[in-house]
Amino acid sequence: MNGHLDLVRELKSLRKGRGVHAGRIEHRIGPAIRAACEIDKSDGPVTVRRKLTTRLTELIHQLPADLRLATLVAFGLEPEARQPLYQQRMLWVAARMDRDERTVRRRVDDAVNQLAELAVVPGDRSGGWRTAELTVAVALDQDRPEVLEQRRIIAEQDGLRELELVAPLPLTETDVQVLYGGTLVPADGGFTLTLPAPVSKEERHEVALRFRLPARQAMPYLLCVPRRPCERFDLRVRFDRDREPPTVFALRGASREDPLHDGHEHPVDRAGEIHVRFHQLTPGLAYGARWEWPA
């Protein structure tokens, strides 16, 4: 059997109806998709849908920019386009992109072929675990702004020994301290946390880190762009009360290409703080907050 052709056929079948949100999703996918998404026979429908959504999103964000939106919509992964029929979603994206429907369908067909090529070629994937809960507190009312990050992870394999994490701030300018949960090993664009002992599949592990910026350095945003599934993200930011409060925008699944021009205004309370919660984060998209101080 040709793995690429089998995967193309199964992906074209999956995009019909509600796509990844179809009922009895475990019966809508074939062996090629199961292999590409690392879905086990023992996985229940919730796990199947999560693995499917995560892997497809990872692959789609590797496509050329002009194919991404149409492909997300095709599989029902775009929150603004959850119509029950594939044809309805294609009409939606055609209007959004100011293209005729046939052009959009051709782009999706091209994208499906590219997705199959990406999926069957082994590549670097930061697998093995997911985040059950990420809690971040930002203190901007200090001489040295601080970020406290607490994370509870769930192992998806036996013998998990390390976590590859992305720093919320540039490591070259930031002091990083592990409060508990592992040993820090700096890496390009992030860091690896070596765990105290191997973690078994479905077991939980908690880590906490503190990041400190140089004195009074400007910090205009805090974003989380997860590489792996993240079930909950809780963000608190405390601003300097000696200044007029900034205008704050919450980002809920913004495009990683230009997340800082997105978001909805979020109020600052009397204590000079904001508190934003996010659920079921999509890997590759940006979540968090940005703020603009008065001139």
Over 50: is that where the pLDDT of 1 sits? no
- The count of residues in the chain is 295
pLDDT computed for residue 256 by the predictor:
58
How confident is the model over 115-169, as pLDDT tens digits? 988 886 544 444 589 899 999 999 999 888 999 999 999 998 889 999 988 877 7
Phi, psi of 143 (to 5 degrees): -60, -35
Asked if residue 36 lies in contact with residue 119, where contact means CB atoms within 8 angstroms, the answer is yes
129-292: what fold? Answer: Immunoglobulin-like (2.60.40)
The stretches of the chain forming alpha helices (DSSP H) are 3-14, 31-36, 45-60, 65-74, 86-97, 101-120
What is the value of pTM for the model shown? 0.62
pLDDT computed for residue 214 by the predictor:
79
Top mean pLDDT of 85-89, 161-165, 170-174 is at: 85-89
State the Cα–Cα distance between residues 124 and 141, nearest whole angstrom.
Answer: 39
203: left (phi over 0), alpha (psi -120 to 50) or beta: beta
Q: Is the dihedral of CA 99, 105, 108, 109 positive or negative?
A: negative
pLDDT computed for residue 288 by the predictor:
93
Q: How far is CA 67 from CA 80, 107, 111, 114, in A?
A: 17, 6, 6, 10
Domain boundaries, the chain: 3-120, 129-292
